[in-house]
Structure 1
Amino acid sequence: MAYAIQWLRSLAHIIVIYIGMAVIGLLWFPWAVFSERGARSGCKMWCRLVLWTARWMIGLRYEIRGTPPEDEVMIAAKHQSFLDIILIFYAVPAGKFIMKRELMYAPIIGQYGLRIGCVPVDRGKRGQAIKKMVADVEKGRARPGQLIIYSQGTRVNPGVKVPYKIGTAVLFSEIGHDCVPVATNAGVYWQRKGIYRKPGVAVVEFLPRIKAGMPKDEFLRTLEAEVETASDKLLDEAGFRHAED
């Protein structure tokens, strides 16, 4: 019975946040069309709506640990669910994402993503995608902010190991900015797929930055070790049972 009630609350929350996305998207659209600041304001408002309603509708709270960067850096984050996207974007002043090209055509999300400086890439053509990603980021350097990339390339269920992609290291080397790793346990509470949302405290943790200039291979090894170790600790804190347990 308790599971069924929580499932219904989760469904209600999903309905509310997507209605909210449409309403906020339309209300902010005139400002967003002419101003990146307007588009970012609309995105931040929707994040606040999601996090506020999650607290009282499904009992899901959040915690931001570490120091979110305010300067121009690359953020290389663990990606377990849609929630960690919201939390990272909400925590930094000028976040922009490396995003799947298909999202350009998604209602509201695509239009606002492009307005805040997100960089669309075609993941189906790996070599071309990396080159274009670097070129597009270089073109956008006049628009400073925190470039957010998911090093495993997709959402990964808690406890599952997926290699980190070389594109992150190439980007780190080419743009010459420090990298701030981010760990999370958000997938324990807001799953990659499905409706059910679990009550608790979802955490994203900003880890000590990796200084620009580190060789690509060393950088990728360091990034993976730091993010995976910190994320595993957060999973343990959340009471997550690993497959080998």
Structure 2
Amino acid sequence: MQDSRIAARGLVLLGCGKMGSAMLAGWLERGLPATSVWVQDPAPSPWVQSTGVHVNTDLPPEPAVILIAVKPQMMGDALPAIAAFGGRDTAFVSVAAGTPLSAFEEAFGTASPIVRAMPNTPAAVSRGITAICANDAGQGALDEAEMLLSAVGEVVRLDSEEQMDAVTGVSGSGPAYVFHLIETLAAGGVAQGLPEDLAMQLAKATVAGAGHLAMKADEDPSQLRVNVTSPNGTTQAALEVLMDEKVGFPSLLPRAVEAATTRSKELARG
């Protein structure tokens, strides 16, 4: 990780649970000096304490970036502790779900560079995807935020914050849809006579392998589906169920994404 500004002035990580720890591990692996990181967390793990980063000590006077990774319900207590850094060129990067840019501008001032990010849970194993956007003052901080967040997976930039609710519906909540697919796929195997542990092993490996193939292949998912589907074969028989326009994936998944997107908008309004 080559960013002399961060190495020289410091990076503050506010909250170091699973997501924060995954990011910290990625930064250290990429060469960010441990002495350039300050972690603030009420219950740091033994691993965090063993890394050589500053843990719950006085913060640097002018940190380059403060990355906010606390749970949304803890935000009210966490923000006042760093409010004094607002109005300078310290960039604030938030991975807290449901907290809009306006809430951070209220806490730190509109002149503060603020980036809002929506990662998803596969970031905990460095296979996530994170969407980012920024306030007017934070446009110049997007490169730095992208560099930091790429430690746990892909990063995409949004045209506007309004897109964040739809991102929540697709990738933010999306891992839960896939986990449920694994559950129900395995249950289908059990119903056809497979032992539970074998059915689950097959389902997990199939979903993981298909996802990896979709990421690596030159063909798009539609073509990959066609490649697996022999005329009048077993896959076609299954797809006739899954692709039913009324009760299959073409109807079900868009409705699920819409429900999550709508709920995200409701939560943002409070």
TM class by shorter-chain length?
Answer: 0.3 to 0.5
Larger Rg: 2
Higher helix share: 2
TM-score (norm 2): 0.31
TM-score by length of 1: 0.34
